[in-house]
Amino acid sequence: MGKRRRYSDADKATALELLRANGGNLSRTSRETGVPVSTLHEWKKGEHLSETVPELRKEKRGTLASQLEAIAWKILDVLPDKLEDASARELATTLGIVIDKAQLLRGQPTEHTMVSSSVAGELDKLGVQPDEVMQAFVEAAKWTN
């Protein structure tokens, strides 16, 4: 019989926040963290958690959201160069996932029906209209199907 792995409270908090960012998907979170699904399920139900885990989760949530936002900005930086490539669809999908996860961690809605003013401002700095970006995504998606 193998040794049981011991997880710190910080490990548990991180795993639970990744579970939240993954929309509660235990299998995906297990693959990403290496924590067995059954263990994640127990933690999700509040089993085997110390009193410090909820506060650590708040800290981890902010850290993870900030890391995901940094990744999103990096993707946005390279996106204009990728619009003509076949991988533009994949890059746009990745960007959407990263932004959604960051928003989930911050407790913000993940559905948007209009371009936010901050994104529109950044696009304006680049001399690009939001409609042009969406059209480029649509065109790129056609080429990758």
Flag whether 81 is in a domain: yes
What is the per-residue pLDDT across 66-79, written as a single tens digit (0 to 9) for each? 887 888 788 777 76
Q: Could you give the CA distance from residue 121 to residue 74 in angstroms, rounded to a whole number?
A: 17
Residue 68 covered by a domain: yes
Task: State which H helix or E strand residue 48 sits in.
Answer: none
Q: Which value, in Å, is the radius of gyration of the alpha carbons in the chain? A: 19
From the centroid of its chain, how far is CA 137? 20
- 10-36 pLDDT, tens digit each: 999 999 988 988 889 999 999 989 999
- Is 3 among the domain residues? no
Q: Output the CA–CA distances (angstroms, integers) from residue 130 to 45, 122, 143, in the order listed.
A: 42, 10, 20
List of the chain residues with pLDDT < 70: 1-2, 79-89, 91, 110-124, 128-145
CA dihedral 96, 97, 102, 107 (to 10 degrees): 90
- 4 assigned to some structural domain: no
pTM: 0.55
Which residue segment(s) compose the domain that 110 sits in? 9-144
Domain count, the chain: 1
Please state, in angstroms and rounded to a whole number, the distance separating the CA atoms of residues 56 and 93: 30
Helix, strand, or coil here: 66?
helix
